[in-house]
A = this chain, B = another copy of it.
């Protein structure tokens, strides 16, 4: 079947998470993503992992997660000849994506104006931590730091303990989505206007836009959210909204359910004394403790059955591994895998959205460093002799299974 973004060509200078995930989303829809990595070691994310373990002995799970459906070419951006080649490639490109610190690409000769000089239809999208000017412009803009600055860490955890970062990096995720939102909007406008444009996305503005409900509440109700001191599930929530333990060491979440109905369903009529709107907020931690004593008298499966039967909004709380085995996840076919020349079979999550006419799909594994360099240069008329020369001078790198060293 056709793909929605077939025919869109992206020059992708991005590294780490925000930019690469954005271009992967475009690639899942069929865009041609040319990942331009630094010669030598490639994207910095290739050298980062968890537990000091590597997939297939050398490959980073973080890199494998955000770089499928791309071709890679690894070049020395400081070489004048490489710059000429990239500007040649830009002539028929639609989009440039980059997330170096502000000013770095301009200094190397790859700013918006440089690309516009060869292609006025180019859409140029920059990602940064804090935007392209201002007091934090030279600071490192990293996911957890943004969580801290925007208030979401302080809203997570327990009142009597320090703020808690989220168990996964959401500012980066949202930053990637904001890039996609702006790039696709710009492509749609270009159909009408014939013009490209410059887009700036930053993690701080992105995270804040997604916390709009929290800010609107705090600023316009003039009351601050406070971390609960229990398993209550949101700093602005009243009981019973939260996570509760069961006798067999598992947990269930219980969302907005009328308190009285829940207590009757649990056979805990004595707790109906708390059933007033004021107490459900002001005594939420005390109520959580009482309700938790009740859920601890049930095993998880029978508790879920009783609650779902009574139409209470509930679900089990799972860890990552058991989440992948959830019956609904299995039914939807969300878990998939792809074959990688070094890493072997890489288990991963497939595209999230379903489209009837243009399904998103995984058609390429994450590339090795510069794996497609020769093909890409040949497409732009660079002959074999010059390709050899670029490799010999170190201005271009091609990783193969044979020249890959194990990491430890």
Contacts and interface: CB of A to CB of B under 8 A. Distances in A.
B211 A320 contact: yes
Count the copies: 2
A161 interface: yes
A328 B131 contact: yes
B197 A356 contact: yes
Contacts of A394: none
A161 B328 CA distance: 27
B214 A168 contact: yes
A212 B349 contact: yes
Contacts of A334: 204-205, 208-209
Interface string A343-367: 1001111111111111000000000
A188 B186 contact: no
A4 to B, nearest CB: 4
A171 to B, nearest CB: 10
Interface string A127-149: 00011011110011011111111
B188 A355 contact: no
A217 B50 contact: yes
Given A51-B221, A233-B144, A349 B170 contact: no
A66 B148 contact: no
Contacts of A201: 352-354
Interface stretch (A72-80, A85-93, A310-318): A310-318
Interface in A136-173: 136, 139-140, 142-158, 161-170, 173
Given A188-B187, A221-B51, A149 B358 contact: no
Interface string A323-350: 1101111011011000000010011111
Among A199, A326, A347, A352: residue with most chain B CB under 10 A: A352
B253 A145 contact: yes
Interface residues of A, number: 156
A242 interface: yes
B200 A353 contact: yes
8 contacts: A49-B217, A134-B332, A135-B327, A140-B255, A144-B255, A149-B317, A157-B157, A220-B343
A351 B369 CA distance: 36
Contacts of A161: 158
A169 to B, nearest CB: 7
B52 A277 contact: yes
Contacts of A220: 55, 61, 64, 343, 346-347
Which A-B residue pairs are the 7 nearest by beta carbons? A155-B167, A134-B331, A184-B184, A156-B167, A209-B352, A177-B177, A151-B320
A314 B343 CA distance: 34
A320 B148 contact: no
Interface in A213-264: 213-221, 223-225, 227, 231, 233-237, 241-245, 251-253, 255-256
Contacts of A283: none
Given A167-B153, A174-B173, A206 B352 contact: yes
Nearest to A142: B255
B182 A181 contact: no
A195 B357 contact: yes
